[in-house]
Each structure stands twice: as structure tokens, then as C-alpha cells.
Amino acid sequence: MKNLKFLILLLLISFTQGNAQPKTVLGKNTKKILFLGNSITYQGTYISYLETYLRLKYPNNKYQFINVGLPSETVSGLSEPNHAKGAFPRPDLRERLKRIFKKTKPDFVFASYGINDGIYLPFDQNRFDKFKEGMQWLDSEIKKRKLPVVYMTPSAFDEKKDKAYAKVMDTYSDWIIAQKKDQNWKVIDLYWPMKKALLQKREKNPDFAFAKDGIHPNKLGHWLMAREILLYLGQPEVAKTENIRNAISNYKNEKNLLLQLVSEKQSFMKDAWLTATGHKRPKMKEGIPLRSALKEAYIFDEKIKILAKQAQ
């Protein structure tokens, strides 16, 4: 009788975990999670890490992670005269946001802007004001649609590349953080934790860098971003993990294939979403038609679901 009760308890724990939600911030009815951002979001590695971890921990959840990050984009509407050697101006989120919402119909939004908005020049109050105006506009557009949103500070800009611009990003990030109090925004700080980690690693290795170009993080940098988001979503167990492999090490070997499948799916879906929603940035990969991409993604999701349950 005791063994039967113990077995029932284990089954209940397993069922509860599989159907649980990562913190209430996402809401129990959340399905489509939209990521707005620039080239770092388009890279998409941190989104793949998020999806992999959450699918392993909550295998019965049916989240759809939608990446519409666009390289070079700003919310300030600014562009330096010689951007891309004069080939094209930086895209402005205002040009495409309505189409994004119409096509994706999200339940929840994560947004990260700032690193391009100072346009890689020393601090200028007019540029800073344009950035703040752009963020205020974005917030009004999201709230107009009654969507929950979390803003993320940009990933750290490496001061070894440009000390002046690193200070610009200090200021922009601090302003976003301050909106938690000033406007009751939901904010995840990616900037300062990454900057702190960078300085700590350089104490042992002066040549260490998360980003060779000072901007675009490597896999370790993307994990730091994903980790801060997961902590915000109520996953304290990832606090001391240094990479995605370490974070999912408690799951069975299928995790390696699961991460690969998630990354492959995210890779073709981000281009499909960008093509379907439209943009003005040249030299972007043409995505497959959205209907075909969604069918293909469904096949991937079924495989991912099976692997996630096997990995428990």
C-alpha cells in the first residue's frame, strides 16, 4: 500500500512539472512569445537556449518562440551617414511594427534595443532623447494592444573596442533600468551582469571577450543573456551555470539532439517570419513561405516534444 501511494505521488509530481508554467509573469494562457530586437536577437542563440531549457523542464508546454530581430535596426530612427559604407540607412522599427503584430499575433513580448541607437558615436543628448522617445513609442504601441511586455537592456558593449561608446551604453542601459520605477516597466538587465562577468574573466585572462567585434556575443555571452531571462522567469537553479550544456546536464543524452533541433527550427523560422512581416533591410536571407515554414516547424516540435519527455 505504501509503495502504491509513493508511485502515485511520483506520477503527480511528474504531471505537475510537465504542465507547470515558468513563473506567473508569462501567464497561464501564453503561447506565442515574440522577441523584438536587432542583430543580436536575429542571431537567436539566446532564444534557442531559452526554448531548449524551458522545453526540457516543462515538456508539456506549447510555447512558440517567435524571433523577428532585424540586424542594424533602431527604435530611435537614427542612422549614421556612412552606415554599411553608405549602402543603406539603419532600418527603423516604426516601419514594420504594425505588420509584425498583425502577422504574429503574440501573447507576450520581449524587446531589446539600445546598442545601435547611439549609432556608435560619443554621447549626444539629442540622440539619447531620440532613443528615449523611440522606447516610449514602442511601449505605447504594445500597451495599445494590451500585450504584456518585458524590456531588456542591451548586451554589454566591450570597452576595449571603444571606451566612449561603452559609456554611452552604460547610460542607455541605466535609463531602461530606471523605467522600472519611473514607469513601472518590467525590465531584465542583461547589460550589467554581462559587463561584470566580462571584467571578472579578464582578471584571469586579459584577452577574454564575449564578442570579437565588441557587439555580437559568442555562445557564452548568449547563455548569460538566456540565464538572466530564465532567472527572471523563476528558474533559480541556473544562477551559477556557465553555459547551456552545464544548465541541462541533469537531463539525459537526448538533450544534445534537442538543442540541435531547436536551433535548426529557430534558424529557418526567423527568416520566414522576417520575410512574411516585411522589412527594408537589404542583404537578408529570403525565408521560405510562412505556411510551409509553420508546417515544417510543427514536425520539429513533435520531435522536440518526444525528446523532451524521454530526457526526463
> What sign for the dihedral angle of Cα 101, 277, 232, 198?
negative
Checking if the pLDDT of 8 tops 50, the result is no
The structure's pTM equals 0.92
- Digit-coded pLDDT (tens) for 205-262: 999 999 999 999 999 999 999 999 999 999 999 999 999 999 999 998 777 899 999 9
Q: What is the structure's pLDDT at 6?
A: 36
Sheet holding 64-67, edge to edge: 64-67, 32-36, 108-112, 149-152, 186-188
Q: What mean pLDDT is reported for the chain?
A: 92
Checking if the pLDDT of 104 tops 60, the result is yes
Calculate mean pLDDT across residues 106-115.
98
* Of 120, 129, 60, nearest in space to 90 by CA: 120
- Domain 30-253 sits in CATH at 3.40.50.1110
3-state SS, one letter per residue, for the chain: CHHHHHHHHHHHHHHHHHHCCCCHHHCCCCCEEEEECCHHHHHCHHHHHHHHHHHHHCCCCCCEEEECCCCCCECCCCCCCCHHHHCCCCCEHHHCHHHHHHHHCCCEEEEECCCCCCCCCCCCHHHHHHHHHHHHHHHHHHHHCCCCEEEECCCCCCCCCCHHHHHHHHHHHHHHHHHHHHCCCEEECCHHHHHHHHHHHHHHCCCCCCCCCCCCCCHHHHHHHHHHHHHHCCCHHHCCCCCHHHHCCCCCCHHHHHHHHHHHHHHHHHHHHHHHHCCCCCCCCCCCCHHHHHHHHHHHHHHHHHHHHHCC
Q: What is the dihedral of CA 84, 194, 56, 298, to 10 degrees?
A: -10
Contact 110, 150 (CB under 8 A): yes
Q: What are phi and psi of 153, to 5 degrees?
A: -65, 155
- Digit-coded pLDDT (tens) for 263-283: 999 999 999 999 999 999 999
Calculate mean pLDDT across residues 121-147.
98
